[in-house]
Structures are given as C-alpha cells and as structure tokens.
C-alpha cells in the first residue's frame, strides 16, 4: 500500500464527470457523500467519507475510472448495496467510491444450460423472483437477499440460511467478468460446470472483498426449486441441549436439512417484541429452526419426522412443525429479523460471525458464556449453527463509558476470536474482515500466509489503489 494517495481535485472531478456524466458523480456535498461512507456495521468508528462517488453504467465506464485512478494514484472502493457488516465498502483511505447500483440488469436466463448472467448491481432477491416462473433458483444467497447486490455477494462469498444443503455463493459462480485496478478487463470461466484450464482465478476473486478486482458481470448456475418444504421449530430447555443437537441432526437422521439455525432466548424475545409477533414456545431457553425440502409430501414428512425424533431424543420439548407457507414465513421472519431487532434494542454493539467446526460449537458456547461472565457483558447469540457459523453480538452495557467500551470490546473480541481459532475456527464465516477485523487477522493466518496473500494482492493491484485499508493491517 502506498504511503500517500492523491486527493481528488477539480481536474480529476472533471475527468470522472466526463466518464459517468455529471448526474452520476457526487462530490463536495457531505450529506450525500455520507450515505456512501458506511455500511451496516454498527460502530461509527469504521465509517469514512469518500471524496467522490461515481456510478458507472457499463464495464467500459468502470474500466475508464480504474485506468484514471491507477494513473493518478487515487484509492477506489467498490460498493454494492452497503449491507455489509465489516466495513468492506467503506472508503477507508478516502478517494472514490465506485457504486455498482446502476449496473443492475439480468442479462440472460439460459434455460438450456441452467445459468443466469447478471450485472453486479442486481438486488439478489430479484434474481429468484424472475426465476420463480421457471421453477429455478440461485441457492447461495444470504439472509439479506432483499437488500444486498449480487456483486457484494460475490465479493464477500456470502452464504445464508440454506448453506447446510446448498452451500454458499462460490458454489454457483461459473463465470466472472472483472476489471482490474489497472483498467484491464478479464473474462474468466463461463457457462462451464467444470474448468481446470489454469489457476482458478474465479474463486480467488470470490470472497476477496473488492481488493483484487471490480466484478462487472456474474454467471451463476441454477438449481430447480424443491416442490415441498417444512420447518421444524425445536424448543430446548438449555443452550447446551440445542447446540449439542446440531451435529447429531445429520449424523443420526442421515438427512441433510436445508437449514439448521440457532436462536437463543434473548434473540427470540427481542425479535418477537420488535415484530410484535408471537411464535410458539418463544420463552424456551434456545431454539433450532430446521428446514427440510424435497419434491413430494411423503419425502418431506419422512425427513422432518426423522429429524424431529433426533431433536426430541436430545431434549427438545416440544417440536413444532410448520408445513404451510404462512407459518413457515412467520417463523423465518423472526430468524431473519434478529440482527435488526438487536440493533434497534441495543444500537451500541458488535455483531460477530465466528465459524467453528460444527462439533466444536458446544465448546465455543461455553467459552462465550465464560467471556460474557468475566467481562460482565451481554452477548446474545444466534446464527447458522448447521454451518458452525454463529452471530455472537456483544452489547455495550449502559454503565460503561465510551472509553471503557472501546478498550473492553477490543479485549472481548480478541478473546472471542482466539477461542474460535483455538477450536479450529476462524474469526469470520461470512461477513468478511473489511476494516473492522483487520487488526485480528493474525489470529487466523500465520505470517507466511499473510505475506503470500499480500503478494497476490500486489500482482492484481500493483499500485495498491483497490479498496486499500482492508483485510491486512500495514
Ligand atoms: C440484516 C442482515 C443480514 C445479513 N445476512 C447475511 C447472511 O445471511 N449471510 C452473509 O453472508 N451475509 C449477510 N449479511 C451481510 C451482507 O448483506 C453480505 O455481506 C452481502 O453479500 C453484502 O452485499 P452488498 O451488496 O451490500 O455489498 P457491500 O456491503 O456494498 O460491499 C461488501 C464488499 O463487497 C465489495 N464489493 C461490492 N460490490 C463489488 C463489486 N461489484 N466488485 C468487487 N467488489 C465489490 C465491497 O468493496 C465490500 O468489500 C447480512 C447483512 C445484514 C444487514
């Protein structure tokens, strides 16, 4: 990373305006720039104002912006919908925010190859809305599907509530068009289900948090939508009971559910109150939301019976089955709104997404309880338990001053991340490192790995202008 970047002056603004048109350039207006200076990360300290925002409409415009920025030494931060939770799209070093919001077309639905080609600014959910009539879906989407963009999903390798059975975004990406920091355009892969010609650059770029290239087109493989599904809501009298059941669900039932989501009591109560919703047995200490799917009623019935039995044997009481759309949607709605509900209840918080091997979740939960107890802090927890990916949410106690919060949160996060790493886990399972977790990357990665990653970064972006100040501390 260079020690100094060029600031944007009138000459550069004129050049940017010439590329995207004055209407698609924001500069000199702090109020409008502010909207592009943060994502959904709760703590404001990760925010940073851009000097300019550009909204290109084509790959050629992205190319021209990158060539200009590269020549002039100006940082560029790609931005999707800004729903990220690690400060990834925050222009940490100022410069240009490159918003992909106008590149929002679904370019092709290829029913013969079962592929869709789309621009990065497409709202993720709209892909499945369009595909509904064909009985097809993109299965790797995150829970924020109604707001986030496809390009952001690619850059974060997002994964959501269906990852247990269907995996995460990367599984479905077969082709990418990207613009490098220097302005060159690469077309990688295509509508191929297999491809071993050279290095797998697609899956190097997927999850690279906008630090290696700007994604300008995505080819996704599709799956048929299963015809039937059902949701089990399993109430447990203890956290340990619920978490202990997670690895048993697949092993003992021999069925791979679509989702295994965990919700603790604090998360459920906060969300039901936020939504003014009642779900069955919401006062349980902990719950597992387990979804199964299939193509006929009997298959789905057999699946939920088998999984229900495993949960009952592990102490679930009662197990509620939702097999009509309205009830399933109501239950999922609670799970989907936990992050928002906890944020409304406790705006000062740090939402985490550690990931551990599924068999280590019980041990991690014990460490979490110990950390919360020792620091005297509330840490509600929920998440994609079937993937070992948990959203422990550290909440600022009212009695703590700002200084105490900053100091103690740093120590709490270090302990939480160390606990995850010691159990074979990682500090982030889906939200990424961004500028929020970069100080902790050394917990997960050894110096040789970090050095190699930095060399890869330098090969893609020799001038260090693409999303600087992310992933690695200098
Ligand atoms: C309520 C809520 C629920 C969520 N649930 C999930 C979940 O279940 N699973 C999950 O994985 N995440 C989840 N997230 C996090 C977030 O929605 C995802 O990370 C999402 O993929 C970000 O997409 P975005 O378009 O908002 O990207 P942004 O936040 O705008 O950007 C994210 C990163 O992608 C880069 N980027 C964006 N577009 C491009 C591009 N075209 N080319 C190169 N880089 C680009 C940015 O530079 C940044 O580093 C959730 C967030 C919220 C608020």
Has residue 119 got a pLDDT over 80?
yes
* pLDDT, tens only, 354-377: 999 999 999 999 999 999 999 999
Q: 378 to each of 24, 275, 336, 375, how far by Cα in Å?
A: 44, 21, 21, 9
Which pLDDT score is estimated for 283?
74
CB atoms near residue 244 (< 10 Å): 16
Has residue 410 got a pLDDT over 80?
yes
* DSSP assigned state of 112: T
Distance in Å, CA 352 to ligand 1 centroid: 14
Nearest atom (ligand 1) to Cα of 78: 47
Return d(Cα 368, Cα 396) in angstroms, integer: 16
Has residue 457 got a pLDDT over 80?
yes
* pLDDT, tens only, 125-145: 999 999 999 999 999 999 999
Backbone angles phi and psi of 466, in degrees to 5: -90, 110
Which pLDDT score is estimated for 279?
83
Has residue 35 got a pLDDT over 90?
yes
Return d(Cα 65, Cα 59) in angstroms, integer: 10
Which residue carries 């992050």 as its tokens? 339
Alpha helices (H) in 219-337, listed in sequence order: 239-253, 265-275, 297-313, 325-336
Q: Which class does domain 228-339 fall in?
A: alpha beta
Specify whether the CB–CB gap between 72 and 6 falls below 8 A. yes
The domain limits of the chain are 228-339, 346-436
Q: Return the structure tokens found at 361.
A: 């979740």
Return d(Cα 346, Cα 325) in angstroms, integer: 31
Nearest atom (ligand 1) to Cα of 384: 8
Distance in Å, CA 154 to ligand 1 centroid: 8
Specify whether the CB–CB gap between 274 and 337 falls below 8 A. yes
Pocket probe mutation, ligand 1, options 99, 104, 148, max atoms within 8 Å of Cβ: 148
Nearest atom (ligand 1) to Cα of 160: 8
Q: 196 to each of 21, 174, 200, how far by Cα in Å?
A: 41, 12, 7
Q: Return the structure tokens found at 143.
A: 């829970």
Mean pLDDT of 415-425: 98
From 313, 101, 139, select the one nearest 224 (Cα to Cα): 139
Q: Nearest residue CA, atom 35 of ligand 1? A: 210
Mean pLDDT of 226-248: 95
Return d(Cα 300, Cα 291) in angstroms, integer: 10
Which pLDDT score is estimated for 4?
86
Has residue 280 got a pLDDT over 90?
no
Which pLDDT score is estimated for 474?
75
Distance in Å, CA 162 to ligand 1 centroid: 17
Nearest atom (ligand 1) to Cα of 340: 1
Has residue 233 got a pLDDT over 90?
yes
Specify whether the CB–CB gap between 371 and 419 falls below 8 A. yes
**Does 120 sit in the ligand 1 pocket, CB within 6 Å?**
yes
Return d(Cα 70, Cα 93) in angstroms, integer: 15
pLDDT > 70 in the chain, percent: 99
Has residue 24 got a pLDDT over 90?
yes
Which pLDDT score is estimated for 278?
86
Nearest atom (ligand 1) to Cα of 470: 49
Distance in Å, CA 25 to ligand 1 centroid: 23
* pLDDT, tens only, 156-200: 999 988 999 999 999 999 999 999 999 999 999 999 999 999 999
23, with CB counted inside 10 A (0-12, 13-18, 19+), is exposed
Has residue 1 got a pLDDT over 80?
no
**Does 271 sit in the ligand 1 pocket, CB within 6 Å?**
no
Average predicted confidence (pLDDT) for the chain: 96
**pTM score, two decimals?**
0.97
**Does 353 sit in the ligand 1 pocket, CB within 6 Å?**
no
Do the domains 346-436 and 228-339 match in fold? Answer: yes
Return d(Cα 183, Cα 176) in angstroms, integer: 15
Specify whether the CB–CB gap between 275 and 387 falls below 8 A. no
Q: Return the structure tokens found at 346.
A: 């406790």
Specify whether the CB–CB gap between 101 and 121 falls below 8 A. yes
Which residue carries 């919001």 as its tokens? 101
* DSSP assigned state of 226: P
Which pLDDT score is estimated for 161?
84
Mean pLDDT of 213-223: 98
**Does 420 sit in the ligand 1 pocket, CB within 6 Å?**
no
Return d(Cα 461, Cα 213) in angstroms, integer: 8
* pLDDT, tens only, 44-102: 999 999 999 999 999 999 999 999 999 999 999 999 999 999 999 999 999 999 999 99
Q: Return the structure tokens found at 190.
A: 């295509």
Return d(Cα 156, Cα 430) in angstroms, integer: 7
Which pLDDT score is estimated for 281?
75
CB atoms near residue 73 (< 10 Å): 14
CB atoms near residue 351 (< 10 Å): 22
Which pLDDT score is estimated for 342?
96
Return d(Cα 155, Cα 159) in angstroms, integer: 12
Mean pLDDT of 202-207: 98
CATH number for the domain whose boundaries are 346-436: 3.30.70.2740
Which pLDDT score is estimated for 262?
96
Which pLDDT score is estimated for 160?
83
Direct distance between the N- and C-terminal alpha carbons of the chain, in angstroms, rounded to an integer: 8
Which pLDDT score is estimated for 267?
94
Which pLDDT score is estimated for 251?
94
Specify whether the CB–CB gap between 311 and 245 falls below 8 A. yes
**Does 40 sit in the ligand 1 pocket, CB within 6 Å?**
yes
Which pLDDT score is estimated for 20?
98
Give the largest CA-CA distance in the chain.
70
């Amino acid at each position: 990373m260079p020690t100094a970047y060029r600031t944007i002056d009138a000459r550069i603004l004129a050049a940017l305006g010439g590329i995207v048109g004055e209407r698609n350039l924001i500069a000199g207006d702090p109020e409008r720039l502010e909207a592009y200076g943060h994502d959904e990360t709760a703590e404001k300290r990760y925010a940073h104002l851009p000097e300019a925002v550009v909204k290109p409409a084509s790959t050629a415009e992205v190319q021209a912006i990158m060539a200009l920025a590269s020549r002039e030494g100006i940082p560029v931060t790609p931005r999707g919908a800004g729903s990220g939770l690690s400060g990834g799209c925050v222009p940490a070093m100022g410069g240009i925010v490159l918003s992909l919001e106008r590149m929002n077309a679904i370019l092709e639905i290829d029913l013969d190859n079962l592929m869709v080609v789309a621009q990065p600014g497409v709202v993720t959910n709209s892909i499945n809305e369009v595909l509904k009539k064909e009985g097809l879906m993109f299965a790797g989407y995150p829970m924020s599907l109604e707001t986030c963009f496809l390009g952001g999903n690619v850059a974060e390798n997002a994964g959501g509530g269906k990852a247990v059975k269907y995996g995460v975004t990367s599984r479905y990406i077969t082709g990418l068009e990207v613009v490098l920091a220097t302005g060159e355009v690469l077309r990688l892969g295509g509508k191929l289900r297999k491809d071993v010609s050279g290095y797998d650059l697609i899956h190097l770029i997927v999850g690279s948090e906008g630090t290696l290239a700007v994604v300008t087109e995505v080819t996704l493989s599709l799956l048929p939508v299963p015809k039937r599904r059902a949701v089990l809501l399993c109430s447990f009298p203890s956290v340990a009971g619920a978490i202990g059941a997670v690895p048993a669900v697949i092993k003992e039932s021999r069925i791979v559910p679509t989702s295994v989501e965990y919700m603790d009591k604090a998360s459920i109560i906060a969300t039901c109150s936020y939504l003014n919703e009642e779900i069955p047995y919401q006062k349980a200490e902990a719950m597992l939301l387990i979804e199964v799917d299939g193509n006929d009623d009997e298959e789905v019935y057999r699946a939920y019976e088998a999984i229900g039995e495993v949960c009952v044997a592990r102490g679930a009481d009662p197990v509620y089955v939702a097999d009509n759309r309205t009830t399933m949607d109501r239950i999922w709605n609670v799970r989907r709104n936990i992050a928002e509900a906890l944020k409304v209840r406790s705006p000062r918080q740090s939402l985490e997404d550690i990931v551990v091997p599924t068999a280590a979740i019980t041990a991690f939960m014990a460490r979490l309880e110990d950390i919360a107890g020792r620091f005297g802090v509330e840490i509600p927890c929920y998440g994609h338990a079937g993937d070992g990916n948990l959203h422990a949410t550290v909440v600022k106690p009212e009695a703590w001053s700002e200084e105490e919060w900053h100091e103690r949160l740093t120590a709490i996060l270090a302990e939480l991340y160390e606990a995850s790493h010691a159990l074979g886990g990682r500090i982030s399972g889906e939200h990424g490192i961004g500028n929020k977790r970069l100080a902790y990357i050394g917990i997960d990665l050894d110096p040789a790995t970090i050095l190699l990653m930095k060399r890869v970064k330098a090969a893609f972006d020799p001038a260090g202008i693409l999303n600087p100040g992310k992933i690695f501390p200098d």
